[in-house]
Amino acid sequence: MNSQIFKSYYKHFLKYLIILFFLSIIAYIFTLSTFFAGLSLGIIGSVFMSYNWFYHLRQAQDENGEKVKTGTMTRLLLVILLCLIWVRFPEIFNIFGILVGVLLTYLLIIWRALLELFKRKR
């Protein structure tokens, strides 16, 4: 079951986040910008956040009438951890880069939802 969830997660989210991660690493190597370092860190956080969200979504689809968990507390703790890393290393990581990287999770969720919506209308 978990390998099936991961394969589906890879198809819908992870492959895009990996591409964006490598692009941000390359940009950081060439510019040494703290924004791109923060973006890379934010994308790593985004990978964990999106997997957590996707896992709970699949679990909710499989359960019948059970309490639906969304993993909000885990995602909140992850954002707190990223902020603590920024507070500890502000000269390396830019908070706005971290923010953009974290928000990629939600942009991908909206993008996937719009794709599914337009696919059904055809």
Task: Specify the length of the chain in residues.
Answer: 122
Name residue, tokens 């969304």: 70
Per-residue CA distances from 26 to 31, 59, 86, 98 (Å): 9, 36, 21, 16
Q: Of 23 and 62, which is predicted with more confidence?
A: 23
Per-residue CA distances from 89 to 1, 29, 47, 92, 111 (Å): 39, 18, 21, 6, 32
What pLDDT is recorded for position 81? 96
Name residue, tokens 């190597």: 29
The reported pTM is 0.86
| CA distance linking residue 41 with residue 27, whole number of Å | 13
Query: Which residues make Cβ contacts (< 8 Å) with residue 36, sequence separation at least 6?
Result: 24, 25, 27, 28, 97
Residue pair 47/54 in contact (Cβ under 8 Å)? The answer is no
What pLDDT is recorded for position 97? 96
What confidence tens digit (pLDDT) does each residue in 5-60 have? 778 888 888 999 999 999 999 999 999 999 999 999 999 999 999 888 888 888 87
